[in-house]
Structure 1
Amino acid sequence: MDFNANHFSLFDLPPTFRVDLALLDRRYLEMQSKVHPDRFASAGEAEKRLSLQWATRVNEAYQTLRKPLARARYLLHLAAYDLGSENNALMPADFLVEQMEWREAVAEARAAGDHHELERLHHRLQREMRERHEEIAVLLDDRPDLEQAADRVRRLMFLEKLLADIDDAIAACEE
């Protein structure tokens, strides 16, 4: 195994946004069975340390490839494309206004303790995120356009944060 291999190579997968998650899961389990520290309990200290490093590396790669946003960011990183995620000025004004409207709707539903409205917002946002995933897949896999892919990834970052906020609001209503 090569410590310098990218995450896709580690699992012998093509470097694409569309990943066969079942295959990724199988390959992850195979890798873990080979490198898990429990297999090296009676080994020397150097082997134990190497096993722990490999297990950590495999876990990190798996978590990155398993999550669409992390996978898209990683693909842009592999292409040496600067995402520019620290600069909100890159976001179109209409998208930012839409985000404010989403946040207002979440805040109102949370303040009213409206669990059903929060669930509705959650499902609507998940649909929108699936649409973004498909856009990103097209822009990274089918007709590579890193600039547009980066734009969609930045938008997805906002949506992921919003989804977490909605989930927090739902949890607060359930308490």
Structure 2
Amino acid sequence: MMNYFELYNLPEQFEIDLIKLKDHYQTLQKLTHPDRFASASEQQKRMYLTKNSQVNDAYSVLKSPISRGEHLLIVRGVKLPSEQDTVGDIEFLMEQMEWRETLDDATSAQALEKLVVDNHEILVKQEKIISAFLSHNREQDNQAAAQELGKMKFMVKLADEIETKLDRITDS
């Protein structure tokens, strides 16, 4: 497995400089873009196409907090839990059910916009929690971060559902 932090010459940590990431991306894109190698051999073209694809994949992973956190855990040798394993947190399960009910009951743009704000606040807190766990490379912290990343995935999915419902209401 390729270490995307190494590819981008970034420290292996959850908190990264997104501006630096973008700068590295643009530089690597220029260096590996297939158009630069139009006159190269077919083998060289394939190699640079593969490199360019890796640059794009790495950028996509590193710019997203969830996939960056998961990649960091994988680099650290942590096995990520399945979605069913995340469901072991009964308190979080209850919160999920409440969120779903609130979303189902929301019929106005105002109610949905409040859900968007509340969800965003939770995502910001979640990212801070994950960052704190991942600032140490200890087994228990890595496992806790993996669980929190699973919860964050749910909240991101919920945010998408809220936005979809809000779009439907405001478009009609």
Q: Is TM more than 0.5 here? A: yes
Amino acid at match of 1:45: E
Give the structure 1 partner of residue 83 of structure 2: 86
Offset at residue 7 of structure 1 (A): 0.1
Give the structure 2 partner of residue 174 of structure 1: 170
Give the structure 1 partner of residue 124 of structure 2: 130
Amino acid at match of 2:28: M
Offset at residue 86 of structure 1 (A): 3.2
Inter-CA distance 143–75: structure 2 relative to 1 (3 Å threshold): closer
Give the structure 2 partner of residue 120 of structure 1: 114
Aligned residue-pair number: 169
Give the structure 2 partner of residue 61 of structure 1: 58
Find the aligned partners of 2:124 and 2:86 in 1 and give their Cα distance: 25
Q: 2:149 aligns with which of 140, 150, 153?
A: 153
Matches within 5 A, 1:69-80: 69-80=66-77
Contact 1:83/1:154 (8 A) holds in 2: no
Mean Cα deviation higher: 78-87 or 63-72: 78-87
TM-score (norm 2): 0.91
Contact 1:129/1:156 (8 A) holds in 2: yes
Mean Cα deviation higher: 129-138 or 4-13: 4-13
- Secondary structure of 1:87's counterpart equals helix
Identity %: 34
Find the aligned partners of 1:159 and 1:137 in 2 and give their Cα distance: 17
- Secondary structure of 1:16's counterpart equals coil
Offset at residue 63 of structure 1 (A): 0.6
**Gapped runs of 5+ residues in structure 1?**
none
Find the aligned partners of 2:73 and 2:154 in 1 and give their Cα distance: 17
- Secondary structure of 1:172's counterpart equals helix
Find the aligned partners of 2:60 and 2:51 in 1 and give their Cα distance: 14
Mean Cα deviation higher: 58-67 or 139-148: 139-148
Contact 2:81/2:147 (8 A) holds in 1: no
Amino acid at match of 1:100: M
Computed over aligned residues only, the root mean square deviation of the Cα atoms, in angstroms, reads 1.6
Contact 2:87/2:93 (8 A) holds in 1: no
Give the structure 2 partner of residue 165 of structure 1: 161
Find the aligned partners of 1:43 and 1:71 in 2 and give their Cα distance: 34
Q: Deviations over 1:6-56 (max 9, x none)?
A: 100001000000011000000010000000112122322222211111111
